[in-house]
Amino acid sequence: MKLESAMAVTPRKRGRPPRLEPAYGTSREALIRAGVALLSEKGYSATGLEEVLRSAGVPKGSFYHYFASKDAFGAELIDAYATYFAHKLDRWLLDGNTAPLQRLRNFVADARTGMARYEFRRGCVVGNLGQEMSALPELFRDRLHGVLLDWQARTERCLRDAQASGEIAAKADCTALAAFFWIGWEGAVLRAKLERSPEPLDLFADLFLTCLAR
Domains of the chain in sequence order: 70-212 (1.10.357.10)
For the chain, helix, strand, coil in percent to 5 are: 70, 0, 30
Residues 6 or more apart in contact with residue 120 via CB below 8 angstroms: 192, 193, 195, 196, 197, 198
- How much is the pLDDT for 130? 96
- How much is the pLDDT for 62? 86
Distance CA 44, CA 75 (A): 11
pLDDT in tens, 33-42: 999 999 999 9
- How much is the pLDDT for 120? 97
- How much is the pLDDT for 190? 97
Distance CA 57, CA 51 (A): 10
The pLDDT mean for the chain works out to 90
Grouping H, G, I as helix, E, B as strand and the rest as coil, residue 194 is helix
Closest CA to 194 of 126, 115, 134, 133: 115
- How much is the pLDDT for 95? 97
- How much is the pLDDT for 26? 78
Amino acid found at 198: P
Residues of the chain with pLDDT under 70: 1-25, 214
Q: By the 8 A CB rule, do 158 and 103 touch? A: yes
Query: DSSP characters for 121-150?
Result: ----HHHHHHHTGGGS-THHHHHHHHHHHH
